[in-house]
Amino acid sequence: DIQMTQSPSSLSASVGDRVTITCRASQAISNYLAWFQQKPGKAPESLIYAASSLQSGVPSKFSGSGSGTDFTLTISSLQPEDFATYYCQQSYSIPYTFGQGTKLENK
Amino acid sequence: QLQLQESGPGLVKPSETLSLTCTVSGGSISSSSYYWGWIRQPPGKGLEWIGSIYYSGSTYYNPSLKSRVTISVDTSKNQFSLKLSSVTAADTAVYYCARHEIGWFDPWGQGTLVTVSS
A96 and B49 in contact by Cβ < 8 A?
Answer: yes
pLDDT at res. A16: 97
* Contact list, B35 vs chain A (CB under 8 Å): none
A52 CB neighbour count, 10 Å cutoff: 17
Strand partners, A73: A21, A64
Each residue of A81-103: pLDDT tens digit?
Answer: 999 999 999 999 999 999 999 99
Residue numbers of B between 44 and 103 with CB closer than 8 Å to A: 46-49, 60, 62-64, 96, 100, 102-103
| Residue A104 amino acid letter | L
Picking from B50, B105, B108, B113 by the largest number of A CB atoms within 10 A of its own CB, the best residue to mutate is: B105
Cβ contact B23:B8 at 8 Å: no
pLDDT at residue B32 above 90?
no
**Rounded Cα–Cα distance for residues B25 and A32 (Å):** 28
Task: Please measure the distance between the N-terminal and C-terminal CA atoms of chain B and give it in whole angstroms.
Answer: 39
pLDDT at res. B103: 83
